[in-house]
Structure 1
């Protein structure tokens, strides 16, 4: 699962890293914490326009839900899509072929459970640089997009972090980002990328304030990325 992300970099950093420009006139807004269940905008680079960056509502809306996205979201959680089922899912099976995207981020949060208590862990590259999740998107109209983050079975590190569901978002190695957007990528190639394309960069993860889980608390600031030492967790970072 990946239900909250961070993007603290400035517009110029994002456009330089991904060699892309903002596609439409909108105010680029960085953030320390975006809760996916608010369906706020992530920033995506779609297959159709790989040199442009678009805002996209977090929570994929398929064709059968486009008439009323709010009602659709009440029935379905499409913040993440399981890579193992995207080719057979009625929700995603069409987009996996021609509506793949990069989703820009510089961090995300995963739940770690200890004695039935959930602790949010902040995960990011050790050098705190930008990266891209593998995603899918849909077009509700010419300038309105929705998206979802692909997840895969957890590797050794994330099996320790996300120790209940044992899943992780598919962070693409920078070497494979262009391939993920290629219209020439066939089914076997897509499956291979989902299986082996996870980043080789070092990821750091550590616990942060459990206020991240509280309603009515403003978490869109440093609290979302600041380490908290919990004695019961032996004050350790996971990798």
Structure 2
């Protein structure tokens, strides 16, 4: 699965890489976590980088917490699952990152590793997005939406990251990995025919990826600082 990632590349470099502009100011994330608002490019606005909530809330959901269990979608079944099928057909997105974390089992615990390109360049993970309108009777929404002058609650836009089989870099750490799109495949993922883009949901070869151990401080989503991406020594 993909449960944490980073995006600390300077905004101007992200904009140049994806030929899109941030809709609003974005702060670096060293430990992006589910339920946070994070940068994506939607198929409906390819020149904009917008922040959507991580954890897809299907349009038919009765409550927002459904999204807590939908941070990832499996490539093998994404077209069949009720939660994802409609979004796969109509609402695809690029989830922007410059690294992600996986946890390898040890004899006593789990050791976090950061996976990134050798030069820490930004990349896109294949994602789906959805728009959900909270029921009018729902109260106490907090971060899930904001009210309008007439008392209505604004829709929430959210996303999920698609995962696939691991490559040789990830396999020692986990049995799933995020779908990293080749740069030349990004436009096709956003605008291609739903019947054709399934071929893009494959493991990234990994020849230019590296995985290295990082501090267990990344286990706590409340920690979000540059030191989290630094390599640490692990006992043999």
Structure 1 unmatched ranges of 5 or more: 233-239
Deviation at 1:58, TM superposition (A): 0.3
| Structure 2 counterpart of 1:207 | 213
Give the number of the structure whose residues are more often helix, by fraction.
1
CA-based RMSD of the aligned residues comes to 1.9
| Structure 2 counterpart of 1:185 | 193
Which residue of 59, 69, 88 corresponds with 1:63? 59
Q: What is the distance in 1 between the residues matched to 2:194 and 2:76?
A: 16
Deviation at 1:121, TM superposition (A): 0.2
Contact 2:214 2:229 (8 Å CA) reproduced: yes
Deviation at 1:111, TM superposition (A): 0.7
Contact 1:173 1:201 (8 Å CA) reproduced: no
Please give the per-residue CA displacement for 1:68-111, whole angstroms capped at 9, x wherever unaligned.
31x324xx511111111111101001110111100111111001
Within a 5 Å distance, the mapping from 1:5-154 to structure 2 comes to 5-23=5-23, 26-36=24-34, 39-65=35-61, 68-69=63-64, 71-73=65-67, 76-140=68-132, 144-154=156-166
For these two proteins, the number of residue pairs brought into alignment is 216
Structure 2 unmatched ranges of 5 or more: 134-153
Q: What is the distance in 2 between the residues matched to 1:154 and 1:20?
A: 29
Contact 1:122 1:224 (8 Å CA) reproduced: no
Contact 1:173 1:199 (8 Å CA) reproduced: no
CA distance change for structure 1 residues 13 and 194 in 2, over 3 Å: closer, same or farther? same
Which residue of 214, 220, 226 corresponds with 1:222? 226
